[in-house]
Chain A
Amino acid sequence: MKFRHPLANALNHGAAGGGVGHWWAQRLSAMLLIVLTIWSVYAISVVVGSDYATARAWLAQPIHAGLAALFVIAALYHATLGLQVIIEDYIHQRALEMGLLVTIKLAAAITAVVVVFSMFAIASGV
């Protein structure tokens, strides 16, 4: 005779217990990236044929400097979420898996800081 409620067996025994937040974050960043990718294709069209001064002057406009920073940060965030799933799916050695997960998150954070500083420098003419 089992006195344990079936719900007690089901709760807190999922894969990790935190999948829904990750799922939503991936979809919402994807939707943001639809808009930002269209901007980036337009931005490449503007700067691809221009010289240094023209390219810099165009990206120095606050709206474009901001969108460039936002595009890279949103891409880094979306990439980290996607790479995390791929690592969790294919890497079965726990230590390597954890090492890679920490590495991609650190790399994304460092790259985001580099981009913010660069875009601030471009926008402020430093």
Chain B
Amino acid sequence: MATQQRPLSPHLQIYRPQLTSVLSISHRITGVLLSAGIVPVVVWLVALSQGAEAYAGVMALFSHPVAIVFWVAWSFALFYHFCNGIRHLLWDAGLFLDLRGAYITGWTVVALAGVLTALAWGVWS
């Protein structure tokens, strides 16, 4: 094995976060949350298929104030991953690949995710 000094990866503890790196790791984190978030959606669909009694039980649980906090986080994660996913697809198409493009689309994603979450809850609640 080579023993020469190789450049080290940036140490996260002392590395100043940038918008680009924060949005990148946020895409993964929201992806993991949304993967887990499929479960309550499936629970809701199963309850709907099982009759009015099962449905009422699940809805009582899902409309609890703590559950509402979860659903708001769920919807923000959905809209964020949705918008940032489109940003990734645009990059894959070769668009916005310069630093300026990465920042403009990055802030757009943050703003859109917030606006879409607010709009959705305006309709949903």
Contacts and interface: CB of A to CB of B under 8 A. Distances in A.
Interface in B78-100: 78, 82, 85-86, 88-89, 92
Interface stretch (A9-17, A40-48, A92-100): A40-48
B46 A75 contact: no
Interface in A67-117: 68, 72, 75-76, 79, 82-83, 86, 111, 114-115, 117
Interface residues of A, number: 32
Contacts of B86: 34
B42 A111 contact: yes
The majority secondary structure among interface residues of chain A is: helix
Interface residues of B, number: 26
A115 B45 contact: yes
Contacts, number: 72
B72 interface: no
B38 A75 contact: yes
Interface string A14-30: 00000000000001001
**8 pairs of A and B residues whose beta carbons are closest in the complex:** A79-B35, A118-B49, A121-B49, A52-B52, A82-B31, A52-B55, A122-B49, A48-B124
